[in-house]
Amino acid sequence: MDWIIPIFVVIPLGLAFILPIIGKNRRVGDVLTNLATLALLCFAIYSIKFAKSTIVYKLGNWQPVKGIPIGIYMVLDGLSIFMLVTVNLVAFMCTLYSINYMEKFTDKTRYYTLFLLMLAGMNGVILTGDFFNLFVFLEIAAIASYALVAFGTEAEELEAAFKYQVMGSIGSAFILLGITLLYSYTGTLNMADVSRVLITKGVSKLVIFVSVLFIVGFGLKSAIMPFHMWLPDAHPSAPAPISAMLSGVLIKTLGIYALVRVFFNVIGTNPVILNTIIVLSIISMVLGILLAMVQRDLKRLLAYSSISHVGLILLGVGLGTPLGMLGGLFHLLNHAVFKSLLFLNSGAIVYSAGTRDLDNMGGLRNNMPVTADTSLVASMAISGIPPFNGFWSKLLIIFACVEAGRPWLAVFAIVASIVTIGVFMKLQKQAFFGESKVDISKIKEVPGFMVFAMIVLAILCVVLGLILLPKLRPIFLNPVVDILKNGLEYSVRVLR
Amino acid sequence: MIYYFIAILIFVIGLYGLLVKRNLFKIIIALIIMEYANFLLFALIGFRKEGTAPIQPIVGGKVFVDPLPQALVLTAIVIGLGTTALIVALAVRIYEKYGTLDIRKIKKLKG
């Protein structure tokens, strides 16, 4: 069954190079890109079948010599499948949305090329089992995202992209330095092999230094609080579907997934690392949402709320208990869905009303009913109102805090949650309800594909809570928790 | 051992330059210094004293230098070229829009 693994990288990477040659007509780009992302989503859903097993694909069929792996491994296990489904779901919705939204930009073909490169990089990061390969895919995704942030080439966008690239390059440099030092200590780059060597050789001061480098590097990529400065500029500056991809999945793939994989499966966790993650996550959770409260720009508000939710996800994972990991990773999926929906809503407002400033909006509910309703659903999901998916994951994280014997952490989560309700009530009131100060009689609902993408995501917001049911949980969520719970068995499962 | 520390020192010089310089192109040069210090360290880790090139069979107790870091540094240099080209292009476009290279004057965003 290992043929399925390279497909996730080959389809987007191959199409990214073919598209500039054959994509002179912009309809060709629309059709091919959407078919590619739809195919990737189907493959990702099909791969759920293998969630309980670990499948290894050896690039170029280089077999291990005397049990020591040579060549590059790609690994498909429960955690990878979970991330693949999340990433490719959001990617498909964003390409559907782009068909109409990107019409006003001049070069749609290059946009799709960069989009597919970013997707190839993210799928690669999720599937790789090799440290240097991780770095290469991480850079592919990051470079494509720098270029996409600057895609409008206005003054603000260029400034944001420059800032983003400087911060991102520092993160990459720290990650590469960490990989270099880890190679000097273990003499191998295969993640499973590194883990095995670290178990036999023991942890030295060098490995602790490497852990710090990785926390800083992946922390910069995932924008947890002391390393967040680029995010509130970069995410609003990008075109709306790209904001949805960046906030919805990129920071989670390059940041949280890589951090979790490296610490839980390779280096191994200890209370010091977990507590560091928890402290950082508490800071970003509370301060992120407080900063969101004072924003006047719709997309900046959403960007700051992303920082807060990254903190919430890392709080769940950092508790280190099975329930906490379940809550954290489930919240990762939920946040990808409702935050990308909110960014698509903001894009719809920009498309029709032409403004991002909350002061110049109001009363859009009558003109844009679908946007208003889907945005209301997403706002209720993100604030944790009961039947929606956000409620269940927040509840799990809060229960996990209490179960782990640290109820004061739950207090922070509840406070952040309450402030979130306030922030999104303000958003709803100023954008969709109330009276407008400017003439809005000419504003119309957005075109068909944009509406369709938003409705699908809104339906997912309602039904995703169902995958916590005891019948459905063993299929999708339990394998993920097993991967993290039995962290260091990763090397045994891969090298077998 | 001293070579490793020199490589780390160059890395820290790059980081310092990144923090204190105000000119866009000086920031880019600082980034490049950081990257290349990394590559230098990686190549040094593969070095073995009196090692031969890893292309011929070993004769009489000699040792190879480790070929893996060399291959990887080559890849990393290519990636570095890509990022550098992109960031220089961004800096040129910023200069066209703002008419300055001083980051204190480039502040339409309030991050």
pLDDT digits (tens, 9 = 90+) for B42-75: 989 888 877 777 777 666 667 788 888 888 999 9
Query: What is the pLDDT tens value at each position of chain A, 496 positions in all?
Result: 788 899 999 999 999 999 989 877 778 888 999 999 999 999 999 998 888 888 888 888 888 888 788 888 999 988 999 999 999 999 999 999 999 888 888 788 889 999 999 999 999 999 998 999 999 999 999 999 999 999 888 888 899 999 999 999 999 999 999 999 999 998 888 998 898 888 888 878 889 999 999 999 999 999 888 888 889 888 888 899 999 999 989 999 999 999 999 999 888 888 888 999 999 999 999 999 999 988 888 899 999 999 999 999 999 999 888 899 899 999 999 999 999 999 999 999 888 888 888 877 777 888 888 888 999 999 999 998 888 888 999 999 999 999 988 889 999 999 999 999 999 998 888 888 877 777 777 778 888 889 999 999 999 988 888 888 888 888 888 888 888 888 788 888 888 7
Q: Which residues fall within 8 angstroms of residue B52, CB to CB, at 6 or more apart?
A: B58, B62, B63, B64, B65
Contacts of B108 in chain A (CB under 8 A): 155-156, 159
Tokens (6 digits) for A271: 């209370």
- Helix count and strand count (H, E) for chain A: 21, 2
- What is the average per-residue pLDDT within B89-105? 89
Please tell me the predicted confidence (pLDDT) of residue B108: 74
CB atoms < 10 A from the CB of B10, how many?
17
Q: Scanning the structure block, which residue is given the tokens 């299929």?
A: A475
Q: Which CATH number describes the domain made up of B2-50+63-98?
A: 1.10.287.3510
Q: Is A34 on the interface with B (CB under 8 A)?
A: no
The band of B110, judged by pLDDT with boundaries at 50, 70 and 90, is low
Cβ–Cβ below 8 Å for B72 and A173: no
The nearest CA of chain A is from the CA of B57 a distance in Å of 18
- Kindly list the domain boundaries of chain B, sorted by start residue: 2-50+63-98
Integer Cα distance of A12 and A10 in angstroms: 6
The nearest CA of chain A is from the CA of B56 a distance in Å of 20
Answer yes or no: are the C-beta atoms of A367 and A410 closer than 8 Å.
no
> Secondary structure of chain A: what % helix, strand, coil (to 5)?
80, 5, 20
Q: Which of A112, A51, A61, A114 is nearest to A84 (CA)?
A: A51
Query: Are β-strands B51-52 and B63-64 bridged in parallel, bridged antiparallel, or unpaired?
Result: parallel
Query: Are β-strands A73-76 and B51-52 bridged in parallel, bridged antiparallel, or unpaired?
Result: unpaired
Q: Scanning the structure block, which residue is given the tokens 């080559």?
A: B74
The nearest CA of chain B is from the CA of A281 a distance in Å of 20
Contacts of A160 in chain B (CB under 8 A): 109
What are the DSSP calls for A54-74, one per residue?
Answer: -EEEEGGG-PPBTTB--S-EE
Q: What is the DSSP-derived secondary structure letter of residue A250? A: I
Can you list the pairs that A4-8 forms with residues at least 24 positions away whose Cβ atoms lie under 8 Å?
A: A4/A43, A4/A46, A4/A47, A4/A50, A4/A55, A4/A76, A5/A55, A5/A57, A5/A74, A5/A76, A5/A127, A6/A57, A6/A59, A6/A74, A7/A43, A8/A40, A8/A43, A8/A44, A8/A84, A8/A88, A8/A123, A8/A124, A8/A126, A8/A127
Contacts of B71 in chain A (CB under 8 A): none
Q: In Å, how far are A204, A289, B10 from B46, measured between CA atoms?
A: 20, 47, 19
Q: Is A53 helix (H, G, I), strand (E, B) or coil?
A: coil
Closest Cβ opposite residue B86 in set A143, A177, A229: A143
Name the residue in chain A with its Cα closest to that of B85.
A143
Integer Cα distance of A452 and A457 in angstroms: 9
Integer Cα distance of A369 and A375 in angstroms: 10
Amino acid sitting at position A132: F
Q: Is B55 helix (H, G, I), strand (E, B) or coil?
A: coil
Answer yes or no: are the C-beta atoms of A429 and A436 closer than 8 Å.
no
Please tell me the predicted confidence (pLDDT) of residue A25: 79
Listed in order, strand segments (DSSP E) in A178-320 are none
Q: Is A161 on the interface with B (CB under 8 A)?
A: yes
Closest Cβ opposite residue A143 in set B35, B82, B91: B82
Closest Cβ opposite residue B31 in set A143, A169, A184: A169
Give the pTM. Answer: 0.93
Please tell me the predicted confidence (pLDDT) of residue B58: 67
Answer yes or no: are the C-beta atoms of A370 and A445 closer than 8 Å.
yes
Give residues 308 to 327 of A whose Cβ lies within 8 Å of B.
none
User: ipTM of the predicted structure?
Assistant: 0.93
The nearest CA of chain A is from the CA of B35 a distance in Å of 6
